[in-house]
Chains A and B, each alone.
Chain A
Amino acid sequence: MRKEETVKLISAEGFEFVIHKDAAMVSQTIRNMLTSPGSFAETEHGEVTFPEISTTILEKICKYFYWNLQYASGKQTEFHIEPELVLELMMAANYLHT
């Protein structure tokens, strides 16, 4: 995995999650940011900051991206979501088109 193939997602508290672009592109919003020609600074630096998404939620989202890739490749497991995270997670998912 080369550095250019990864993207860094930064949470409201400044925590960083380095994930593969394939995983990040599970989100339509991030896909648009990374693929639209020249219009987002994010594309060049490979960094996306989410000032409104908390660290706990962002990590859960990253786990979901990878779960999604695994699920698509035939490994069908459950994705566990803690009840106390549901509301915030749904709001983030809505924003990310995930």
Chain B
Amino acid sequence: MAMYIRVKRSKTTYFIQCEPTETSLDIKQKLHDLIDQPVSDQRLILVSTGEVLEDSKSLADQKVENDAVVALTLRKDDNEFEEVNIVRADDFYQSRDADAGNW
């Protein structure tokens, strides 16, 4: 296994094993197997930069590295994509401020 990325939405994190040469579309297909959402209804956003990942580009080309956090958003009924929604564990632990910004 070359690398993994963490795909997050709401309170769920999917650890996805992948290669740097794989494209964003490959990742969406893997997610499709897990969540039954067609690839066309998925949007992936690299959290550290806020950039939307493009289907045809490889992970390496888009600076998606090992252990990167990627947000998953899904197409809503009105055909628009939902906003990034990731619930952080820190919301429960104010005392862990030292950890802030550290995934």
**Least Cβ distance of A27 to chain B in Å?**
14
In this assembly, does B40 line the interface, its C-beta being within 8 Å of a C-beta of chain A?
no
Chain A residue nearest to B16 in the complex (CB): A1
How many residues of chain A are within 8 Å of chain B by beta carbon?
A: 27
Whether A18 touches B1, Cβ cut-off 8 Å, given contacts A1-B30, A84-B98, is: no
Query: From DSSP, what is the main secondary structure of chain B's interface residues?
Result: mixed
Chain B residue nearest to A83 in the complex (CB): B98
Query: From DSSP, what is the main secondary structure of chain A's interface residues?
Result: mixed
How many residues of chain B are within 8 Å of chain A by beta carbon?
A: 25
**Least Cβ distance of B18 to chain A in Å?**
10
Chain B residue nearest to A18 in the complex (CB): B14
In this assembly, does B76 line the interface, its C-beta being within 8 Å of a C-beta of chain A?
no
Contacts of A33 in B (CB 8 A): none
Contacts of A3 in B (CB 8 A): 33-34
Chain B residue nearest to A17 in the complex (CB): B13
Chain A residue nearest to B14 in the complex (CB): A18
In this assembly, does A55 line the interface, its C-beta being within 8 Å of a C-beta of chain B?
yes
Chain A residue nearest to B18 in the complex (CB): A1
**Least Cβ distance of A41 to chain B in Å?**
20
Chain B residue nearest to A63 in the complex (CB): B67
Contacts of A14 in B (CB 8 A): 11
Q: What's the Cα separation between A14 and B12 when bound, in Å? A: 9
**Least Cβ distance of B63 to chain A in Å?**
18
B93 touches A56 (CB 8 A): yes
Give 27 A-B contacts (CB < 8 Å), ordered by A residue.
A1-B16, A1-B33, A1-B34, A2-B33, A11-B89, A13-B92, A14-B11, A15-B12, A16-B11, A16-B13, A17-B12, A18-B12, A19-B15, A23-B15, A56-B93, A59-B13, A59-B89, A62-B13, A63-B67, A66-B1, A69-B1, A70-B3, A70-B66, A75-B2, A82-B102, A84-B96, A84-B98
